[in-house]
Amino acid sequence: MSDEVVVITPELAPGTGGLADYTLRLLENWPHPADIKILVSPGNSIDPAACPYRTAILASDPSAILAQLPAIGGRVLIQYSAYGFDHFGYPRDFIWTLIDWKKKSGGRLVVMFHEIWTFWPVTNKNFFIQLLHRRAIKRLLQSADEVFTSTSSQGEHLRALSPRTPVHVLPVGSNIRRNENAKAARIPRCAVLFGLQRARTRTLKRMQNDLNSLSDEGVITKIITVGGGDAPNCDAEERGLLAGFKLKQAFEQRGLLPEGEVSELLLTASIGIFAQNELSLGKSGTFMAYAAHELNVLADFADVTKSEPVCWLVSPRELLAQISPVELKTRAQRLLAWQQKNSSWKSIAKRFTEALASGAENS
């Protein structure tokens, strides 16, 4: 088997999207030197300074794609997102080319499903496109040596489609590296809301009633938002929502900050506000950033009777009931321990390299 590893990703330039940052973090933590080549979906930029490995744009023609992959043996890792590889969410030629390559080369194929097919009602025209997409993914699953995905719900769908294929749940890593040199102390009752602005606005709307109550009771006295913006009107909408909480120590909109400053802020606040649903935990870089910075994560689905990591989160009703500081500290510490064990970048890179190497001695 060839020593070459080909990583195929929709994007690679830092800050252009979650899969670009994911792939770059993965490569930074690759456990040993390797002959790696990165192929990036057409239409996306490549920043050579951000990646020490060989890079190229993925060809669009199936025969040209095959020419970019190892002819005999070799290892291929796919960072799969359907819309990342195809505008309509069904990269048909790409999927069938991978299946063809696996059959002809005898190489090792590992797929990380960041997204699977989308679910539409039968009355929607996209239903039939995604039905074909689902069938193609089934064939890809049957061809792959190992498969990963970021959430248990996606894992269940993939296993139902191809029960004999090994499917592993591997949560994403933190998109903000912890600044170990930061010496700032935690500010009690200070909450942070991190992420893209549209997501922040949705969070403030969804948790409006809970945040009003927490502010009224003085449980949260300040909220700081941080992350990229979308447009001036979005700034105004976010500002209006924050002002409506009548926080005793007001609020701040920090906007887009360098990674080190974001990390320092996450190490200074006490609470991280999270309003995505429970099924999204494993694929949320924001959630993992909160966990990696030992914050108490505020979520309406928090429940001590559920499995990790949900049992380590904190619900609005618990904060209103004046949960003890000792319990809050314990949960934050245990959430950090869970994150370091399950989704640190070193552990993620190790899992992929093991999957790519498995069986190589018999090839």
Specify the CATH number for the domain of residue 19.
3.40.50.2000
The residue with greater pLDDT, 3 or 147, is 147
Residue 53 placed within a domain: yes
Pair (124, 272) in one structural domain: no
* Rounded-to-integer distance, Cα 315 and Cα 298, Å: 6
Pair (266, 332) in one structural domain: yes
Pair (157, 226) in one structural domain: no
- Predicted confidence (pLDDT) at residue 362 exceeds the cutoff of 50: no
Pair (280, 151) in one structural domain: no
Averaged confidence pLDDT in the chain: 91
Residue 73 placed within a domain: yes
* Rounded-to-integer distance, Cα 128 and Cα 151, Å: 25
* Rounded-to-integer distance, Cα 262 and Cα 257, Å: 6
Q: How confident is the model at residue 34 (pLDDT cuts 50, 70, 90)?
A: confident
- Predicted confidence (pLDDT) at residue 360 exceeds the cutoff of 60: no
Residue 180 placed within a domain: no
Q: How confident is the model at residue 351 (pLDDT cuts 50, 70, 90)?
A: very high
- Predicted confidence (pLDDT) at residue 105 exceeds the cutoff of 70: yes
Pair (315, 286) in one structural domain: yes
Radius of gyration of the chain, Cα coordinates, nearest whole angstrom: 22
Q: Which two tokens stand for residue 241?
A: 């929502």
Pair (58, 140) in one structural domain: yes
Residue 256 placed within a domain: yes
Pair (253, 264) in one structural domain: yes
Q: How many CA atoms lie within 13 A of 220 on its CB side?
A: 31
Pair (144, 20) in one structural domain: yes
Residue 181 placed within a domain: no
Task: Identify the pLDDT of residue 2.
Answer: 65
- For a pLDDT cut of 90, what percent of the chain falls above it? 72
Pair (156, 30) in one structural domain: yes
* Rounded-to-integer distance, Cα 176 and Cα 226, Å: 12
Pair (11, 92) in one structural domain: yes
Residue 184 placed within a domain: no
Q: Which domain holds residue 154?
A: 4-173+344-362
Residue ranges in the chain assigned as alpha helix (H): 18-28, 62-68, 82-85, 92-105, 126-143, 152-161, 197-206, 208-216, 232-244, 259-268, 285-292, 316-320, 325-342, 345-357
Pair (22, 144) in one structural domain: yes
The residue with greater pLDDT, 17 or 351, is 351
- Predicted confidence (pLDDT) at residue 149 exceeds the cutoff of 60: yes
Q: Residue 59 corresponds to which amino acid?
A: A
Q: How confident is the model at residue 280 (pLDDT cuts 50, 70, 90)?
A: confident
Residue 68 placed within a domain: yes
Number of domains into which the chain is organized: 2
Task: Identify the pLDDT of residue 120.
Answer: 80
- Predicted confidence (pLDDT) at residue 111 exceeds the cutoff of 60: yes
Pair (119, 145) in one structural domain: yes
- Predicted confidence (pLDDT) at residue 64 exceeds the cutoff of 60: yes
* Rounded-to-integer distance, Cα 151 and Cα 174, Å: 15
